[in-house]
Chain A
Amino acid sequence: MTDQITRVVIVGGGSAGWLAAGIIAASSPAHVQTTLIESPDIKPIGVGEGTWPTMRATLETIGISETDFFRECDASFKQGSKFSRWTSLSKNDDYYHPFTAPAKYHEINLAPFWLRFKDKINFANAVCPQAAICDLGYAPKQISTAEFGAVLNYGYHLDAGKFSPFLHKHCVEKLGVHYVGANVIGINSADNGDIKSVATDSCGNIDGDLFIDCTGLQSLLLGKHYAIPFISHKDTLFNDSALAVQIPYSESAGSGGAKAIASHTLSTAQTNGWIWDIGLQSRRGIGHVFSSAYITDELAERELRNYITPAVGQKMAEELSVRKISFNPGHRQTFWHKNCVAIGLSAGFIEPLEATALVLIEISAKIIGEQFPLNRSAMDIVAKRFNNTLGHHWQRIIDFLKLHYVLTQRTDTEYWRDNCRADTIPDSLREQLELWKVQSPWLQDELLRDEMFPSASYQYIYYGMKGGTVIPEMGTQKPVQMKKLKQAERLFMENAQHIQQLKKVLLPNRDLIEKIQQFGLQKI
């Protein structure tokens, strides 16, 4: 068979290239040879530092030791996100989006039962112990929990600059990925319009059957070579710029609190954007994401420096260097064209509000590895499905991110007021919001078997931002309702007890990470 697909060529390194290489090499059929071409001159953008819990399964699939990952990637635990000042300007305005779903989520929707008590306890704290554990700064597992095992669901914060070399080493040494260090200088087409090979400056032509474009924002293969149109979503999600800075933990003696590593991403709304705050072992990564249409770089930088001043002092806050990243929020019209698939920034990028960059890489590479087209004619069918799935995911990402904005009660700037304007809200989201007024988000909101965001995430954001649902009268109770009510009451009580139990057995985040450094986690 001459049209067999055996050679995968990944163009570009970075988190996208090396994650894709690892996942495809580990999950594709045995006869597939994976090659990665990386330019020695182009530095990866290196900003994606938050993952989803999916990364645990991904690392395990690739065959990486979680202990090594913690030791070599400056990694820490991420149990979700905390959003501050998104709903109002009040100092204590915040809510959590934890990774752990509400108790017995697939059996019972607790939201309608919680709504009766919404003035007494916030949604996340009523249905799940994770927000309370995050507030305490505790880790989501114990030193006796096996690698990738969890007490509470978690993902990671990591140093993207260390993650790529770490994956590189593993891919080449353990998974047999062929590495080519060269610059791609041209693309050679086959008669059918496929890419036949890529020309490099120092290693000649590299032939392949399937090319993966991981060239970042320049989108060399899909964007430049195939000219697949880019669809901007700036009208919905305004942010197009980021200013990033790294700050050290306080070194002052006895400052256990100041050296604590938060086990969630802290996202604090600003006048025209928001600031991310990610705690790694050795430093914090902080960045201001904003819309250049509403605020100048200078003013955005001022807000960023003001944010870090309490942690590092006035002098250092003024001196630390800040890096600017510009992006057009959106994605390509299709992602797999002919024998070329774009993964990572080359496929698209939208603000990092829910850390969707790395998880999209994982999902894309997983589909390629698991549904690997054995011949050229199968490829077009796999490609069509891939485009449908990814297109759906992008649309859901856009809706979900926009959800964080549309419920705000902030009216302090045009940015927040415009975010609530009807013409900036996609129809699909507007429909959901209409429905949620009378029907609480739940499993019926998951249209695909493999939705990126479980409906539990909609609950956490919707009720976190004080979205309401009219609950039907419980006056004439049917027996099935009574049973559910009893179950809900029991689960609320058990959740409160669960928090107390976890407090006794979990450690502060940094303490557990230091134990992992010292003893390692067991494989079983």
Chain B
Amino acid sequence: MPNFALLNNIAHKDLRVVRDHSAQYGDNEMWAVTFPQEFRAIQNEYPIFFQKNSENGKFIPVALMGLRQKENLFLTDSGWDAQYIPASVKRRPFLIGIQPARSDQGSNQPSRMVYVDMDSPRVSNTAGEAVFLPHGGYSPYLESIVDVLEYIQYGTELNEIFGDALLQHELLEVVSLEITLKNGSRNNLAGLYTINEEKLNALDGNVVAGLHAKGYLEFIYMVLASHANVMKLIARLEARLQNQ
């Protein structure tokens, strides 16, 4: 279970974070949440599908990194073998939390605060990148993390309105990936959704223009283009099985 602590430069002055990628740091996941702003970079390497958030049933886009539970096919002995690592992976072990507005501090806006998961295996006092500078200022690493967290915050809101737009035009459909490997073993990936191309192609011109004006049309085609990467994942899995 995560143990999130509000980040501060006194309690966490010696905090360091391991930035390597490996199974021991929890990177052995078959998918990661992704965001429309990074679809262009993601679709170059990962298939993008939609899944339902188990907490609220809302659709969220995910980048597939594997075809079996607890298997990330991009992980190698020398780290994460990809040009681009999803923002939701890069942020670890940090998270943005929203603090409710406090009247005693003269601000009536809720404030965004950075939290750190103290139980993450990445957290250390000796190894990895320093989070704070010796005098207490943000390290360049933390600066970059704050940028990533802001990016995710924006992306999370975008996911919600993009998802609503897709549902409004009934553009999502269930997809079932049944993959048979050379050794005869079968993998069935359930609970995935993607763009319904039939509905997309039948959209009224005005609706298409509306989606285009918001930039959603590009997102939609990025998702469709990304599906070619399923073959690349299968190739990675076949190669892995052969080397075993």
Most chain B CB within a 10 A radius of its CB, from A145, A515, A522: A522
B58 engages A519 (CB within 8 Å): yes
Nearest A residue to B193, CB-CB: A524
Q: Which residues of A contact B53 (CB under 8 A)?
A: 144
Q: CA separation between A520 and B56, bound complex, in Å? A: 8
The reply to whether B193 and A518 contact each other, CB–CB distance below 8 Å, is: no
Known contacts A519-B57, A521-B57, A524-B174: A144-B167 contact under CB 8 Å: no
**Contacts A524-B172, A524-B174; A518 near B167 (Cβ below 8 A):** no
B57 engages A143 (CB within 8 Å): yes
Known: A524-B173, A524-B174. A518 touches B54 (CB 8 A): no
Contact A522 B54 (CB under 8 A): no
Q: Mark B39-66, 1 if CB is under 8 A from A, else 0.
A: 0000000000000111111110000000
Q: Is the CB of A522 within 8 A of B55?
A: no
CA–CA, A25 to B201, complex, Å?
31
How many Å from the CB of A299 to the closest CB on chain B? 49
A142: CB under 8 A from chain B?
yes
Q: Which residue from chain B places its CB closest to the CB of A145 in the assembled complex? A: B57
A49 to chain B, nearest CB (A): 27
A225 located at the interface, meaning its Cβ lies under 8 Å from any Cβ of chain B in the complex: no
A142 touches B167 (CB 8 A): no
Distance between Cα atoms of A18 and B170 in the complex (Å) = 29
CB proximity to B under 8 Å, residues A133-186: 142-145
Q: Is A523 an interface residue (CB 8 A)?
A: yes
Q: Which residue of B lies closest to A67 (CB)?
A: B57
Q: Let me know if B54 and A142 touch, CB within 8 A.
A: yes
Q: Tell me which residues across on chain B come within 8 A of A520, comparing CB atoms.
A: 57
Count contacts on A: residues with CB < 8 A to the other chain.
Answer: 12
CA distance A524 to B54 in the complex (A): 14
Instruction: State the Cβ distance, A521 to closest chain B Cβ, in Å.
Output: 6
* Cα(A522)–Cα(B52), bound, Å: 9
Cα–Cα, bound, A524→B174 (Å): 7
B59's nearest neighbour on chain A, judged by CB, is A522
A145, B52: Cα distance in complex, Å: 9
Contact between chains at B56 and A519 (CB < 8 Å): yes
Nearest B residue to A519, CB-CB = B56
CA of A519 to CA of B164, assembled, Å: 12
The complex places the Cα of A175 from the Cα of B125 at a distance, in Å, of 67
Q: Are A143 and B54 in contact (CB under 8 A)?
A: yes
Contact of A518 with B56 at beta-carbon distance under 8 Å, contacts A523-B167, A524-B193 already known: yes
Provide a sorted-by-A list of 28 A–B residue pairs whose CB atoms are within 8 angstroms. Answer: A142-B54, A142-B57, A143-B54, A143-B55, A143-B56, A143-B57, A144-B52, A144-B54, A144-B57, A144-B191, A515-B56, A515-B57, A518-B56, A519-B56, A519-B57, A520-B57, A521-B57, A522-B52, A522-B57, A522-B58, A522-B59, A522-B167, A523-B167, A523-B170, A524-B172, A524-B173, A524-B174, A524-B193
B residues with a Cβ closer than 8 A to A are: 52-59, 167, 170, 172-174, 191, 193
Beyond A143-B57, A144-B57, A521-B57, 6 additional pairs, beta carbon < 8 A: A143-B54, A144-B52, A144-B53, A144-B191, A515-B56, A524-B174
